[in-house]
Amino acid sequence: MNILGAVIGLVLVLLAVFSLVNWPLFSAPASLFFIVFGIQGLLGVILLGVVLVLVGWFLL
């Protein structure tokens, strides 16, 4: 494992701990407004999903 892989792993572990500690805030519903429409959603869960997709894409 190279240094970059270790740093990414450490960041993912820290993100997981931060998410678990703050789960009530991450799972609170919020109004999400896009340019042409708006929806009710879980902003924290959506952001965590985006982070995981970006990390997965980076690791490919």
Residues 23-43 have pLDDT tens digits of 888 788 888 888 888 888 888
Give the max Cα distance, the chain.
Answer: 44
How far is C-alpha 44 from the geometric centre of its chain's CA atoms? 7
In the chain, what are the domain boundaries?
Answer: 3-59
pTM of the model: 0.63
pLDDT band at residue 1 using 50, 70 and 90 as cut-offs: low
pLDDT band at residue 56 using 50, 70 and 90 as cut-offs: confident
Residues 3-26 have pLDDT tens digits of 888 888 888 888 888 888 888 887
Flag whether pLDDT at 50 surpasses 70. yes
Angle, in degrees to the nearest 10, between helices 43-59 and 3-21: 170
List residues bridging with 32 in a β-sheet: 39
